[in-house]
Amino acid sequence: MIRVGMMIGDRYEILERIGTGGMSDVYKAKDHKLNRHVAVKVLKQEFSENTNFVSKFRVEAQAAASLMHPNIVNVYDVGEDNGVYYIVMELVEGITLKKYIEKKARLSVREAVSIAIQACMGIEAAHNNHIIHRDIKPQNIIISKDGKVKVTDFGIAKAATSNTITSNVMGSVHYTSPEQARGGYSDEKSDIYSMGITLFEMLTGRVPFNGETTVAIAIKHIQEPMPSPREFVPEIPVSVEQIVLKCTQKSPDRRYHTMAALIEDLKRALMSPDEDFVRIENPDESMATRAVSDRERGEIKKQSKKKESSGEEIRLKKNTPPKKKKTVVYEEDDEEEEYEDEDSRMERITTVLAVIGAVLIGCAVIFLVGRAVGIFDFGQESEQVTMIAVENMTEEEAVKALTELGLKPEVTYAVSDSVEVGKVISADVKEGAIVSGGSRVVLTVSGREETAEDGIPVPDVEGFLEAEATATLTNNGFTAEKSEGYSDTVEKGRVISQTPAGGSSAAPGTAVSIVISQGPDLNSKVVMPDIIGMDPDLAISTLVENGLMVGEQRDMSDDDPAMTGKVCYASYTAGALVEPGTTIDIGISTGPASTTYMYQDAIQSPAVAEPGCGYQEGSECQITITGQSGAEYLNTTVRTFPYTSVNIHGIPSEDPAGLITYTFEVEEAPRTEVGENGETVTVPGGKSQKVVQVTVFFTPEG
């Protein structure tokens, strides 16, 4: 049970739960070793004893840990603590794209395309590592507070190391591809389809297909034509419309072949939105059988005639004595007869090919239908086996029994007071569990702590300085093998990762591989383009083409009249190296600024401003500074004078002067008054509010 305040892995302190999913919960935590906040994804308790779910969770960790990209939520650590399986990830402060769309109803074309470009860059990095996300949707795309777009939750991603990947319908059915809905093969083009649906939702504020059940929606993805986003938002440019339609073609072969091609068209759509440059291929047309025309048939006959003539000539030359010539005469009647034979032969060939084609098509249809209803499995799923009891077996007996069962045993060691040394304490798969053949089973075997024959714990040196890590490993009986790597999060000279992992067991003298951080990889940085003086639209396109995100756009004054209406400010200097996807704020000139004023003088005590006003030094006094227009530029309460913390700039030209107003309380002394009957009455003293105002002139800024 995860609770706030508990420690996981002796390192991560759980602070609060920030999200939940079907298989796992996500918590905000503090990494005490590196003193930073992280997100920890924990497999839910009800699934932690299920071998299949644990296996999926491990696959997720391995897939996500291999990725490192500015547009992907990075994974820092993976582990298990007392049956709690967890993944430590980068903590991204922001909102999901789904909530962002709901908040804005729908996004502008420029904003939607810019977000899509960044998301596609992250997915492209995964595809380049042979990893398919298979659950692309707005809920799995996060927009951080600084405007960066990050793809997260590779929960059902799987390394595409085999020739094909089979999958059932996974993820949200609103975004699933037709091939996933059929339960067939899925590849990179399935992610492209889901990205097209996500772009459709950004542009229109709705999904293209809806229904009362998930099955009804899935059938629409398979059968119904994709609606155009321009049906709902007519002002969407033709290029963006065509990009969406090409991404969401029913046939994967008609979609973009790669994310890189999709990104290229998205960038072009930013610069030329009304240009019709998107082309949707139709492989069926290019590969279809078609009738041979009379002209083509004649050409075939001529080519055939030439080949036979040349063959006859070769045979004649081969059989003719040297230096003797022999003339070959072709009769016209023979030629016509040959043409007729050729016609008959072509007709027979065409008929045979048509029959063969029809048979092949029929077989393919029967196969696809049969596989869809489960008739043709062909052993796609691994053989299922039942886990046996291995507790108190010797290590050799357990390994042999599991191997014969078709499983892959792995052995770790632990000290036990109740189990004899060399015998199995437990297995991570419970007796009676149904698992797939070839599944890994981790055996925990009893071993002596004082002898290192069964392995000793490997120290965790991640985050250590290089020298410190080497010394720690050496002192614990291991050797260090060092390599270098880049990291945006781990300081230069510290350990990024280690193999074997800290806390695992290994034989004394084992070489532990450690990766030493060289700091950020500057070669992966983007050079900030020079956009000063550009028109805003051109500047935005230039930033997007260079993989950067456009942030706040605000109007500001500039002394150069020629800069009016052009970009006069950027939050990064031209030529600076920045991360891909960095948000760039820009300023657009409104022309030279009008005269403004400032006030930086010290404010004296009310007793100095108006002697005899009754102010007692050290007592509380409220100070306000207002202009002639009534605008308030300062409102504070002080006890000490002179008050020197005054630094007001940008006072508009309509307020060259103003008032300093002091408001404070004064003590009134007791006084005597004559009552109604003529007697003397003493009125006790009290507190009353006093207001003192002083005119002040502001200084022009120049």
Note the pTM of the prediction, 2 decimals. 0.45
pLDDT of res. 142? 92
From 229, 235, 243, select the one nearest 113 (Cα to Cα). Answer: 243
Show the DSSP H helices in 479-612 as ranges: 536-545, 606-609
In the DSSP assignment, the letter for residue 385 is E
From 660, 647, 662, 661, select the one nearest 699 (Cα to Cα). Answer: 647
Q: Which helix (H) or strand (E) holds 482?
A: strand 479-485
Catalytic residue check, 294: no
DSSP collapsed to 3 states, 146-190 = CCCEEECCCCCCEECCCCCCECCCCCCHHHCCHHHHCCCECCHHH
Instruction: Give binding residues for ATP as ranges.
Output: 41
pLDDT of res. 636? 93
Distance of CA 386 to the CA centre of its chain: 39
Q: Using 70 as the pLDDT threshold, list the residues of the chain that sit under it.
A: 22, 53, 56-57, 59-60, 62-63, 155-171, 184, 282-348, 350, 352, 365, 367-382, 447-455, 521-524, 675, 702
C-alpha span between 64 and 153 (Å, rounded): 8
Show the DSSP H helices in 236-372 as ranges: 238-247, 259-271, 283-287, 294-319, 332-372
Residue indicated by tokens 């060939």: 349
With contact defined as beta carbons under 8 Å apart, do 75 and 88 qualify? yes
From 362, 365, 359, 350, select the one nearest 289 (Cα to Cα). Answer: 350
* Tokens describing residue 372: 């869809």
pLDDT of res. 160? 34
**Catalytic residue among 10, 77, 81, 135, which?**
135
Number of C-alpha atoms within 13 angstroms, CB side, residue 283? 9
For the chain, give the longest Cα–Cα distance.
Answer: 167
C-alpha span between 434 and 441 (Å, rounded): 12
* Tokens describing residue 255: 């979609």
pLDDT of res. 2? 82
pLDDT of res. 315? 43
C-alpha span between 487 and 470 (Å, rounded): 20
Residue 377: CB atoms within 10 Å: 9
Instruction: Please list the residues that pair with 689 across neighbouring strands.
Output: 665
pLDDT of res. 522? 63
Q: Helix, strand, or coil here: 590?
A: coil
C-alpha span between 19 and 37 (Å, rounded): 15
With contact defined as beta carbons under 8 Å apart, do 428 and 442 qualify? yes
With contact defined as beta carbons under 8 Å apart, do 368 and 362 qualify? no
With contact defined as beta carbons under 8 Å apart, do 96 and 141 qualify? yes
With contact defined as beta carbons under 8 Å apart, do 693 and 661 qualify? yes
Instruction: Please list the residues that pair with 627 across neighbouring strands.
Output: 658
Task: At 284, give phi and psi (nearest 5°).
Answer: -65, -40
Instruction: Give binding residues as ranges.
Output: 41
* Tokens describing residue 474: 């050496």
Show the DSSP H helices in 26-108 as ranges: 51-65, 97-104
